[in-house]
Amino acid sequence: MAFSMLLRTPGYTSRLYTQQMMKLATQASLQRSAVSVLPATANALKEMNTPILNSVRSFRTSPVRLSDEKPHDHSKLWVIEKGVAALMVPILPLGLLLPNKILDSVIAILICAHSFWGLEAIAIDYVRASVVGPILPKIALGLVYIISIATLGGLFYIISHDGGIANTIKQIWAIKSDRQKL
């Protein structure tokens, strides 16, 4: 990434330098079109003198957005993700110490949001359309949504029809301690 940024930005950022490079680039393209009637060897020699500015300008590491919509600001989502992760640190022990439906609901939402963002990042990063085709990434994101909705629904079912998340965890720990006594 740093290499591509180096290629995109000119080494010398003076306005005069940029104007001179643009002048050279346009003169070279004009000379190429004017020389097209000359023999092929003369054309080949002229094409070898093309400035590097044109090739650097066309170099891209990501696809160009073709839509006119405003690009998304992912920095706010990153702050929210880190806030949710930091909020889980005090809420999880508090929910185990004071089991009730409100804290269990907050824990269920935080766990599902945190796992959704993690699974979504995995699906987007590793199931790319350029590698596996256009259909598989859509299926992977659909599975992430289904898993997240099913997880949230299951946790809310445990909260409303069973003892709650905290009491279920305590019951699991009690079973483990009973087995150790035998």
User: Who's near 90: CB < 8 A, 6+ residues apart?
Assistant: none
State how far the Cα of 159 lies from the Cα of 167, in Å rounded to an integer.
9
Residue 113: HSE in the Cβ half-sphere, 13 Å Cα cutoff:
17
Spatial separation of the C-alpha atoms in residues 13 and 21, rounded to whole Å: 11
How far is Cα 145 from Cα 155, in angstroms, rounded to an integer? 15
Is 114 annotated as ligand-binding?
yes
Structure tokens at 56: 């650097």
Q: Which residue has the tokens 């998340």?
A: 165
Residue type, 59: F
Question: 126: annotated binding-site residue?
Answer: yes
| Spatial CB neighbours of 107, under 8 Å, sequence gap ≥ 6 | 88, 91, 92, 95, 165, 166
| C-alpha span between 144 and 138 (Å, rounded) | 10
Residue ranges of the binding site for a ubiquinone: 126
Residue ranges of the binding site for heme b: 114
Residue ranges of the binding site: 114, 126
